[in-house]
Amino acid sequence: MNRLITALVILSCLAVFPACTQDSEQEHSENKKAAQLIEHTNASEPVYGGRFTEPTLAEPMCLIAVLSSDSASHTVASKLFVSPLKYNKDIELVPYAAESFEVLDGGKLLKFKLREDIKWFDGEPLTAEDVEFTYNMMIDPKTPTAYAGDFKNIKEFKRTGRYTFEVRYDKVFARSLITWASDILPKHILENEDLSTTKYRRNPVGAGPYKLKEWVPGRRVVLEANEDYFLGRPYIDELVYRVIPDISTQFLELKSGSLDDMGLTPQQYLFQTKGDKWERDFKKYKYLSFSYSYLGFNMESPFFKDVRVRRGINYAIDKEEIVKGVLLGLGYPAMGPYKPGTWVYNDKLKPYGYHPEKAKALFKEAGWADTDGDGILDRDGRPFSFTILINQGNSLRIKSATIIQNRLKDVGIEVKIRTVEWAAFITDFIDKGRFDATILGWNILQDPDIYSVWHSSKAVPGGLNFIKYKNSELDELLDRGRSTLDQDERKVIYDRIQEIMHEEQPYCFLYVPMALPIYSSRIKGLKVEPAGLDYNADEWWIPTQLQKKPSLQQ
């Protein structure tokens, strides 16, 4: 296994040592001019214009975010729509489309006043009728959404004026304000549409800082600045999302200047982005991400119904090895669905650790033994052989699966690895439960409520609890956790939730990685805050001298 880790690291680092060639005088001159130009523009004031190009591993599935659960769709849609509230740089909910809001009656009554200067892309005003329509659409059982839960907790929605509305709950709901950080949808556009087939899934009418200019399937999505955006049009004219389903290819495009940013792999961050040119032309950032990766088990599979098997697999996997071999140390082993160092994280849980002998004992106890001497455990004539499903283009997940494959082989389990293109991965396999196990990741939310992913009611086709995990105690705790605003009380509840997951192992939580974004130096206005980098993206700008517009014929 050590040789495998070494091989992975060596293969990742080969690109660090290109053949040494002497720069030509022309190249040296161009580099010097580029350095002088960037230095000259560092002190410039914000200006309008330019194009920002970033990669996406997968093409968006739908640009109405509540109708999709993939990150590519949500990333693009976040530029097209607005919500009553949003998170600021300190991860605090503040007014956005709302001019103001009040929390009354101990948190059971919310009153909102919308701004009166917001217009949809077609010029129609955004009003409380649109918010009411969005609410009714979300609670309609015919709406194909995985995000209805928050809205169904509302006892009464009342439109109190053209730009005012109020929401009442029959009991305290911890996510009541977070609910209103969801996109507002246009009533006059969608009220008579079939949301499963409407053309507005791919050509939405929003009110956000950008609007759709072009969508070339399989290649790119282009957004253009909304001149009528109520907070003032963004500085950058166009955002281009290029579909590049491979991180190595993304890196080559970044290096050539065709991309303005990407999320680096650890080896790219540590070894492949060093030197004067990288330091001059790019800026790298590093901070613990609000995300985690996991090995999820299909609870309807005969392999994983027994908790002893799931615990055994955890003992058989060396998470420190994965952090070292895949993340090159830029991350931490995960034990649950929360970010280490936050108030909700249960630091009293003890890691399973790497103990293959304990794993073998648990497998034996669960009835798995190598009865035919072929090195693979079997039970009732069936070998313990399963497939880990992974989406194409994610090298970290593929490397993680390779290490897991080798470690489980040591304890008598045969693991196969299958990669699938993203759209098919979600619609044909994950949503339909057609998998044994999968490596995926979730964003860690600002509020600890994880009802949508873990409650039994979400273990339905298209639901976020796609592994079909059901636990009555967990359900009760999830209900209680979202029914109080008392942080001390919630701490007790969510500590127990983490204990259950630690005991039951519906996921084998793998790691919390460091976020390793890199941006072109020509992009100005970036600031790292508790919320990360993107919170002020509409204020980024590009100096006039650096507003190149590369060809889109890609």
Helix, coil or strand: residue 547: coil
In this prediction, residue 530 carries a pLDDT of 86
Write out the two tokens for 368: 């798995």
Structural domains in the chain plus CATH codes: 44-62+208-284+522-554 (3.40.190.10), 81-201 (3.90.76.10), 291-514 (3.10.105.10)
Residue that wins the pLDDT comparison between 355 and 13: 355
Contacts with 479 (C-beta within 8 Å, 6 or more apart), sequence order: 451, 455
Q: What would the pLDDT profile of 229-247 be if each residue is shown by its tens digit?
A: 999 999 999 999 999 999 9
Rounded to 10°, the helix 472-481/487-504 angle is 160
Angstrom distance (rounded) from CA 175 to CA 13: 45
Q: Of the candidates 105, 167, 112, which has an alpha carbon nearest to the alpha carbon of residue 135?
A: 167
> pTM (2 decimals)?
0.83
In this prediction, residue 32 carries a pLDDT of 47
Write out the two tokens for 174: 């911890």
Contacts with 533 (C-beta within 8 Å, 6 or more apart), sequence order: 285, 517, 526, 527
CB 50 within 8 A of CB 547: yes
- Enter the DSSP assignment of 428: I
Mean pLDDT of 164-170: 97
Burial 113-131 (b: 16+ CB within 10 A, else e): bbbeebebbeeebbbbbbb
Mean pLDDT of 85-111: 95
In this prediction, residue 382 carries a pLDDT of 97
Angstrom distance (rounded) from CA 404 to CA 318: 8
Lowest mean pLDDT among 29-33, 172-176, 478-482, 486-490: 29-33
Q: Examine the pLDDT at 15 and tell me if it is beyond 80.
A: no
Q: What is the DSSP string of 269-290?
A: HHTSS-SHHHHHHEEE--EE-S
What average pLDDT is seen over the chain? 91
Angle, vertex CA 107, rays to CA 64 and CA 79, nearest 5? 20
In this prediction, residue 549 carries a pLDDT of 57
In this prediction, residue 6 carries a pLDDT of 40
Banded model confidence at residue 11, pLDDT cuts 50, 70, 90: very low
Dihedral class, residue 413 (left if φ above 0, else alpha if ψ from -120 to 50, else beta):
beta
> Which residue's entry shows tokens 């495998």?
4
